Amino acid sequence: MPPSVPVRRARLFAALAAGALLATTACGASAISTAGASGPAAAADTGTITIGALSTLEGAFASLGEPSMQGVKVALLERGGTLEGTGVRDGVTGATVAGEPITLVIDSSDATADVAVEKARGLVEQDGAQILIGPLSGDEGIAIKNYARTRPGTTFVNGLSAAQDMTLRDPSPNVFRFGGDGAMWVAGLGRYAHDVLGYRTVATIAEDYSYPYDQIGGFLSEFCAAGGQVVDRVWFPLGTKDLSTYVTQLPTDVDAVFFAMGGTDAINFVKQYDQFSGRATPLLGGTTAVDGSVLEGIGARADGIVSAGPVPELDTPAYEDFAAKLAAAYPGATPNVINAYYYTATKAVLLALDEVQGDLGGDQAAFRAALAELEFEAPQGPVRLDANRQAVITNYVTRVEGGRVVRVSDVGDVTATLGFPADEYVAKPPFDRDNPTC
């Protein structure tokens, strides 16, 4: 369970005291002692920059929490930090930016909107986080955006939440996303399925919540615009183990089935789909459909599955550098969308802090201006932001071959409107169980 508020505060005060000692060593008499200081004021008094990190360290998505925090910490290790331990809740000491010490405070949500806001409030209002990195899950992102409006002096940088409307509709000026949303993560797949694979009809199946809505919405937006049709859409509750009832609802007279899910749901679906269909129908996968342990769990049946996502294996300096540092800090860990996105968010924060020499005054206006103008090479490719502070990304269409995920097409400059006219795209209803129509 996450530490109680008093424990978190105690850890923060200890870190702030350590930060003051570091500042004294580095800057001589200019450092200010934290003696007698408490709460958020302590961070301001010492010049310490306090960064909060929020992810799902418990609940249905607890397995995703560890790589997310690894990404945050690797970015801080690049700034001279040292791991306090290899546990997911262990911090980093000694990291600095623009000559100022950094304090990292970590807390956990459980992938629900209410808990995400509760924990964000604790990090910001009690632990003094001036910048919050997170959350991880889709519905959490919308809730954090709404909370951000109540904290105009704090900057919120998304971790992994792929909720489209975290930035697309009614964006908040203090919310930034340096990765794509769920619809952007399948960019290129719909057109590839139609134009290259020759598919004209598909059925879809996915967990019944916001992230798969955006995955299927993004895929169908392209596939239908190219001339394809969706014959049926099947939804099931998150965490359903026996999918047979839902698998049997899928039509057999389609060119392919698109499945947007991950983890054990993806493994269960493929195995149970084969039992029902006899493997007669090709499969198209969403971003997490053949990722990591899912690929291992599916085994040889994964060969031939075409998917799309923002973080494939690349041979670029940025990817290889991140992979090496990640493996050095966490032996056996390899880049994926989770650790790469949290790393990119943290790196962006540090680069913008460099630009303003660590100054977060004036309600962080100068810092946010620097953050909005950033352009840099992330492990997943070049990143820049649009007017809504949403990343324009490169996405990748992939195929599983011999147990490996191989790139077959790169799609550059993917925007939040997937290349469609912005006014027309935003005016349409948000993606849900029935939208987009096709």
Q: What is the pLDDT of residues 201-220, one digit of tens each?
A: 999 999 998 889 999 999 99
Residue extents of the structural domains in the chain: 5-180+314-392, 184-309+402-427
pLDDT interval class at 278 (50, 70, 90): low
Instruction: Give the least confident one: 18-32, 300-314, 396-410.
Output: 18-32
pTM of the predicted model, to two decimals? 0.86
Q: Does residue 62 register a pLDDT over 90?
A: no
CATH topology assigned to domain 184-309+402-427: Rossmann fold (3.40.50)
pLDDT at 279: 63
Q: Does residue 30 register a pLDDT over 90?
A: no
Q: Does domain 5-180+314-392 have CATH number 3.40.50.2300?
A: yes
Q: Are strands 96-97 and 100-109 parallel, antiparallel or unpaired?
A: antiparallel
From 347, 363, 26, select the one nearest 355 (Cα to Cα): 347
Reported residue count of the chain is 438
As a whole-number percent, the residues of the chain with pLDDT over 70 amount to 89
Q: Does residue 33 register a pLDDT over 50?
A: no
pLDDT interval class at 393 (50, 70, 90): very high
Instruction: Give the least confident one: 4-18, 57-71, 82-96.
Output: 4-18
Q: Which two tokens stand for residue 95?
A: 């990291």
Q: Does residue 333 register a pLDDT over 50?
A: yes
pLDDT at 34: 26
Report whether 205 contacts 236 (CB < 8 A).
Answer: yes
Query: What's the mean pLDDT in 331-359?
Result: 97
pLDDT at 277: 72
Q: Does residue 303 register a pLDDT over 70?
A: yes
Q: Are strands 155-157 and 306-309 parallel, antiparallel or unpaired?
A: unpaired
Domains 5-180+314-392 and 184-309+402-427 share a fold: yes
Q: Does residue 296 register a pLDDT over 90?
A: no
Per-residue pLDDT tens digits for 121-177: 999 999 999 999 999 988 899 999 999 999 999 999 999 999 999 999 999 999 999
pLDDT interval class at 263 (50, 70, 90): confident
Q: Which residues contact 296 (CB under 8 A, 6 or more apart)?
A: none
Torsion angle of the four alpha carbons 55, 131, 51, 367, in this order, in degrees rounded to the nearest 10:
140
pLDDT at 22: 30
Q: Which residues contact 272 (CB under 8 A, 6 or more apart)?
A: 242, 243, 244, 247
